[in-house]
Amino acid sequence: MEAVVLAGGYATRMWPITRHRPKMFLPVGDGTVIDGVFADLEADDRVEEVYVSTNERFADEFETYLAESGFEKPQVSVEDTTAESEKFGVVGALAQLIERENVDDDLLVVAGDNMLSFDLAEFVDFFETKEAVSLAAYDVGSRERAKSYGLVELDGTRVVDFQEKPDDPNSTLVSIGCYVFPQDSLPKFDTYLSNDNNPDEPGWLIQWFQDRQPVHAFSFDGAWFDIGTADSYLDAVAWELDGDTVVADDATVVDSELSENVYVMSGAEVTDSTLSNTVVFNDATIDGSSLSDSVVDEAATVTGLDLSETLVGQHSRLHGE
């Protein structure tokens, strides 16, 4: 089996904190968003090669990150785009990668911005019992939230209906961007694309397969985070911290109140401030301020301000009157 980690997005909804870094490298606990996926793939002997599908803009960052990470399997496979407007879609990128890397094996595909509470090996076990196109599914518990995803209807584990981003969801079980495609299904990517089908959302490809052959769903409980917005990132950090406050050993916190889900990273300084549900990146400075539901990027400074639901970019200087 081979694997593809999808990491080609530009995360424009999270700018400025993702303007100059892939969102997969956002810190969560002792690692980053993508580390859990890499660790699972590294540990599964059935996965022989791992391709990290990213864009030209972030390719060097991924090369550097992987060289320093200790992971041995992942290798960068570069999409020919440098901006969001040039992207030819997830399915198009997969088809291009399959051809470019001569993939000729069962293929595990996982979105690199997924944080999962299950081991990917469990999903591969499930696929091996079905020997069919498979997806991972999660109950998001909200019909409003379900509108943003591919909706799955099951008979046992078999998918009997799949709707991509429906306006009126009839359930809350959604596909989470984690698939296995059997070897004999890979040539059908070109068939799908050659008929003017949607090249972007993989849910349309799953729906296309479901109309033609068995598709099965691996449902799981626990937690799942799709890191596409600041809210989802902060939710993932809160889950990782389990409600605690974490301050790096070499960070400085003086005369400040830190409530739940606060993460103050290495070299940061917080003085005379109140923080809740906030991440303070390396070497940032917060003085005389109140922050909630916010992210302050590396080496940024916030002084004398009351901020809520705010993203402060790298090296920014925000000062109150």
Q: What is the pLDDT confidence band of residue 86, given thresholds at 50, 70 and 90? A: very low
Beta-carbon contacts of 302 under 8 Å, excluding residues fewer than 6 positions away, are 284, 285, 286, 287, 289, 291, 296, 312, 318
Question: Could you give phi then psi for residue 92, rounded to 5 degrees?
Answer: -60, -40
| Predicted local confidence at residue 81, as pLDDT | 55
The encoded tokens of residue 11 equal 């995360």
Identify whether 16 is preceded by a cis peptide bond (ω within 30 of 0).
Answer: yes
**What is the pTM for the complete model shown?**
0.89
Alpha-carbon distance of 154 to 84, in angstroms, equals 34
Q: If phi over 0 gives left and psi between -120 and 50 gives alpha, with beta otherwise, what is residue 37? A: alpha
Q: Which of 22-36, 124-138, 278-292, 302-316 has the lowest mean pLDDT?
A: 22-36
What are the chain's domains? Answer: 2-231 (3.90.550.10), 243-319 (2.160.10.10)
Q: What is the overall mean pLDDT for the chain? A: 90
Query: For residue 248, what pLDDT is reported?
Result: 93
The pLDDT tens digits of the residues spanning 87-104 come to: 567 888 888 889 888 899
| Stated length of the chain | 321
Average pLDDT over residues 219-227: 89
Give the pLDDT of residue 88: 61
Provide the 3-class DSSP secondary structure of residue 220.
coil
